[in-house]
A and B are shown apart, each in its own frame.
Chain A
Amino acid sequence: MSSNTKQKTEDVRVAVYVCHCGTNIAGKVSVEQVRQFAERLPSVVVARDFKFMCSDPGQELIADDIAKLQVNRVVVASCSPLLHEHTFRNALRKAGLNPFYYQMANIREHVSWVTLDRKLATDKAKALVAAAVRRVANAVALEKKRISAHRDVLIVGGGIAGIHGALTLAESGKHVYLVEREPTIGGHMAQFDKTFPTLDCAACILTPKMSAVKNHPNITLWTYSEVEEVNGFAGNFKVRVKRKPRYVHEELCVGCNDCVEACVFKRGKVDDEFNVGLSKRKPVYMPFPQATPASVVIDPQSCLELMKGKCSKTCVEACERAAIDFKQEPTYEEVDVGAIILATGYKTFDPKRIPEYGYGKYPNVYTTLEIERLVNATGPTQGELVLKDGSTPKSAAVIHCVGSRDRRFHLYCSNVCCMSALKMAHLIKERTGADVFNFYVDMRTAFKGYEEFYDQVLNEGVQFIRGRPAEVTDWAVTREEEGKLVVRVEDTLLGMARRIPVDMVVLAVGLESQLDAEEVQRKFNISCSRDGFFLERHPKLGPVSTFSDGIFLSGTCQGPKDIPETVAQAGAAVAEALCLVDKGYVEVEPNTAYIDPDACSGCKTCIALCPFKAINRDESLKIAVVNEALCKGCGTCVGACPSGAAEQNLFTNKQIYQEIEGVLGYA
């Protein structure tokens, strides 16, 4: 290392390339001025500008200059290193130069895209180029480290995204750990009755996949479990999973439901989560008939034995296989995986936040998810669509965009509600023959077969009223309105206010990020976008990867999407994860710390501070030594070292000070 750092400045021959990026940079920065400025900087032997430096001819320019002008340091002033650092480092490597003799000046994202004034933009670009030139002059030849990667993959979330991902990976021969926090996999899709636009039975297409997950030799399924802790990095994650006690031995239970029958509670006691509170369940319950694993679970919040220790435990007597065990404690599993796919899903918008729609106040105001359960044969009414008083609705309103496209709540479009609302209209009409009114803001029915479904529903006689309803009220002003729910709306096609009396109102609630999305974000060290969903690495070109290498996103945790799009994205996440684990190794940036043995006083400050326990003390020399395999390059020791002995590759003090002087020197 030290031999390299002492490279003499007179040997340094820097080439600077200023990229136009079409008009992305050249439209705001005077590229020619920057080039002329760069040409006059010390150590610079050549400065060029080019339309697209990332193109092959652009990269060839670099190779030519390295060969013909003995250039040994390269600066490209173009875009973010996230996009093209890799490209240009490779160009250097191909031309026989160490790829770390390269420095990028970001004059697009940091300059042309964010600066309005042309003169200021050009000045800033010059300052950044000056900084990059001074920094690269102190660059050190380094090599990327190769670290072997684990071949197993962890998938968090057992909805359709997690299920599809797990099966695909398992088929490719990789072992998958599928962790689901609920007692069963299936997610929201298991709650749906039909799927748009084909109106397939959701359970019929989902449950075969659920049982395939359970039976696949390459899948370890942990339901009722949550990821507690994630350590490590791409290729080498160490994950700790907490398995919550079911109070039932999953491997003994066959799902006969005898214990549920025998429970001391003769009727349901608490809200049934699967039926979104429309029915009650007992403390011991099977989430739904096709639950996977087919094992009951006992809810400690409502079970008498678990709450008070006082119960005749009729369930235990009823279980022939002695599967019930009230003494179960949480257990923990630790696994090593190479990649992680997050498929943690969404939650629906709580319409109580819009009090004017009367959800929770008027009994016949429902959400779309509630209607899914009401029309489902395993639902609370065995599939009969009835009002709270048991009668059949003669008219119904479906309100679109509830919580979405609304500045008060979510600016984004939830993507699935138009189609879901159309499906609602169709199902209500089909099951009850009611008059159905859909209140929409814009109809968004892109994608295959969707517009055709819209057309079908139009032809079925559903009335579409363009306008966001102002309120749902039981305030009747005419006899026809007595006893009805009145939807007050400005019909924006008619240009007038209308009052539509109906028996039932369905709110097409939007999708939003899970309540604990922020906690998950911290646990996996990824980011969230402003709407609360997990942030992908690039909105177009990195839609399933994150800024944390080795952690991928699939399904609605990344943003609202419907089933086909979720499945497609789950497949994409699998492909990216495979890319990583199949190779069997990962290359990591050589940004590790090192300690100058001559300067180290052996004070041990760094040893105590290192979060990765990567620094040891060499007792014979009485100095600290960094274990490169463990060092993650966080820089804590560099900042803390009182004698300046700790340095970090790619970020040596000299490099950083020279960069700062480059900027300040220009100003």
Chain B
Amino acid sequence: MHYLYYPGCSLKATGKPYEESLLAVFRALGIDVDELKDWNCCGATTYMGVDEVQAFALAARNLALAERQASGAAVVAPCNACYLVLNKAQHYVSEYPDIRKRVTRALKVIELEYCGDVNVRHPLDILVNDYGIERIGQEVKQPLAGLNVACYCGCQIVRPYSTFDDQHNPQSMERLLRAAGANVIDWPLKTRCCGAALTGTIPTAGTGLSDLLLKEARRRGANTIATCCPLCQHNLECYQAEGRGESGTLVQTPVVYFTQLLGLALGLKPKSLGLKRMLIALQPPAQATRAVL
């Protein structure tokens, strides 16, 4: 298995633990990745709001580079926003001739061309559908016993494009972490808004949204939240107020990347998974068990 890795800005900065854990897990499972050379901003959020075609051109530059670097290869985009924008650019460039014309013209200036040959994939998709849950189950060395995990997909990986999971009830992450031995809780808010950029612009509105998620997750007995998106992770962890946990005491709930949990289950060292970088420390599974007892 060989893929091109498109990190996007987050995974090199606030989302560093995501990159570290993702690459460590891929390495442990023997999934080869090469970082896309000379990649740039995916075009997300601000660009898309200000000038859509410019955003598509930025995204298309990455796609064109990918095509040149390894024709026919799939691109792994771990950040939900990158994943969505790259897929959206792909869709608009192929469906709307007018946009295609303008994007092609922009790429021509920098002597690039995009033929539409790139497949943008999320690591969840790759682990569940290419590698296979059963095989991952066989690789588990330290099952995540004692972790009651709320799996949080966020809004962008299944909407509007649902290439690998159900739009309303995505289950890839749950199946994956269940295979890793975690106790996955039933939590209907797994695709609700995390507050997104509102935590920066209108903090009360943003944190209001992320609070809803945390409160319901704790109410349902979660002691860990697993995410697959740097912005979701940031919003849920950085702005987190203390809440009542299962035992009624005030707690903070660790918010980690699903790859970090998977890495622990595969027997990788917490440090190599970036777990030391987290603001709210994750109790290693064995200790968590003791804490619950």
CA distance A475 to B216 in the complex (A): 7
CA distance A206 to B40 in the complex (A): 71
Cross-interface CB contact of A471 among B166, B168, B212, B216, cutoff 8 Å: B168
Q: Can you list, as one digit per residue, whether each of A127-145 has a CB less than 8 Å from chain B (1) or not (0)?
A: 0000000000000000000
B212 adjacent to A477 (CB under 8 Å) = yes
By beta carbon, the residue of chain B nearest A357 is B168
CA distance A475 to B185 in the complex (A): 13
B188 adjacent to A355 (CB under 8 Å) = no
Whether, in the assembled complex, A406 has its beta carbon less than 8 Å from a beta carbon of chain B, the answer is no
Residues of chain B within 8 A of A473, CB atoms compared: 188
Of residues B169, B188, B212, B216, which shows the largest number of chain A Cβ atoms within 10 Å of its Cβ?
B188
Whether, in the assembled complex, A272 has its beta carbon less than 8 Å from a beta carbon of chain B, the answer is no
Known: A475-B188, A475-B189. A356 touches B168 (CB 8 A): yes
Cross-interface CB contact of B166 among A355, A475, A477, cutoff 8 Å: A355
Residues of chain B within 8 A of A474, CB atoms compared: 188
Residues of chain A within 8 A of B188, CB atoms compared: 471, 473-475
Known: A475-B216, A477-B212. A356 touches B169 (CB 8 A): yes
Q: Can you list, as one digit per residue, whether each of A335-369 has a CB less than 8 Å from chain B (1) or not (0)?
A: 00000000000000000001110000000000000
A355 adjacent to B212 (CB under 8 Å) = no
Tally of contact residues, B, Cβ under 8 A: 7
Chain A contact-residue range equals: under 10
By beta carbon, the residue of chain A nearest B186 is A361
By beta carbon, the residue of chain A nearest B215 is A477
Residues of chain B within 8 A of A471, CB atoms compared: 168, 188
Residues of chain A within 8 A of B166, CB atoms compared: 355
* Smallest CB separation, B1 vs chain A (Å): 30
A355 adjacent to B168 (CB under 8 Å) = yes
Residues of chain A within 8 A of B212, CB atoms compared: 477
CA distance A213 to B155 in the complex (A): 57
By beta carbon, the residue of chain B nearest A474 is B188
By beta carbon, the residue of chain B nearest A470 is B168
Residues of chain B within 8 A of A356, CB atoms compared: 168-169
Residues from 180 to 219 in A contacting B, C-beta threshold 8 Å: none
By beta carbon, the residue of chain B nearest A477 is B212
CA distance A433 to B212 in the complex (A): 34
CA distance A475 to B150 in the complex (A): 14
* Smallest CB separation, B100 vs chain A (Å): 26
CA distance A471 to B191 in the complex (A): 12
By beta carbon, the residue of chain A nearest B187 is A475
By beta carbon, the residue of chain B nearest A408 is B167
Residues of chain B within 8 A of A354, CB atoms compared: 168
CA distance A356 to B189 in the complex (A): 11
CA distance A474 to B189 in the complex (A): 10
Residues of chain A within 8 A of B189, CB atoms compared: 475
CA distance A326 to B212 in the complex (A): 61
Residues from 561 to 613 in A contacting B, C-beta threshold 8 Å: none
Q: Can you list, as one digit per residue, whether each of A265-291 has a CB less than 8 Å from chain B (1) or not (0)?
A: 000000000000000000000000000
* Smallest CB separation, B151 vs chain A (Å): 15
CA distance A354 to B167 in the complex (A): 10
Residues of chain A within 8 A of B169, CB atoms compared: 355-356
CA distance A356 to B212 in the complex (A): 19
* Smallest CB separation, A478 vs chain B (Å): 12
CA distance A471 to B166 in the complex (A): 14
* Smallest CB separation, A487 vs chain B (Å): 13
CA distance A473 to B187 in the complex (A): 10
CA distance A523 to B181 in the complex (A): 49
By beta carbon, the residue of chain A nearest B168 is A356
By beta carbon, the residue of chain A nearest B170 is A355
By beta carbon, the residue of chain B nearest A354 is B168
Residues of chain A within 8 A of B216, CB atoms compared: 475
CA distance A475 to B187 in the complex (A): 8
Residues of chain B within 8 A of A477, CB atoms compared: 212
CA distance A356 to B257 in the complex (A): 25
* Smallest CB separation, A500 vs chain B (Å): 16
Q: Can you list, as one digit per residue, whether each of A473-503 has a CB less than 8 Å from chain B (1) or not (0)?
A: 1110100000000000000000000000000
Of residues A354, A356, A471, A477, which shows the largest number of chain B Cβ atoms within 10 Å of its Cβ?
A356
Q: Can you list, as one digit per residue, whether each of B169-192 has a CB less than 8 Å from chain A (1) or not (0)?
A: 100000000000000000011000
Residues in B lying within 8 Å of A, measured CB to CB: 166, 168-169, 188-189, 212, 216
Q: A354-B168, A355-B169 are in contact. List 9 more A-B contacts (CB 8 A).
A: A355-B166, A355-B168, A356-B168, A356-B169, A471-B168, A471-B188, A474-B188, A475-B189, A475-B216
Top 9 A-B residue pairs of the complex, sorted by shortest distance between their CB atoms = A355-B169, A356-B168, A473-B188, A475-B188, A355-B168, A475-B216, A355-B166, A475-B189, A356-B169
Could you list 14 A-B pairs, sorted by A, with CB under 8 Å? A354-B168, A355-B166, A355-B168, A355-B169, A356-B168, A356-B169, A471-B168, A471-B188, A473-B188, A474-B188, A475-B188, A475-B189, A475-B216, A477-B212
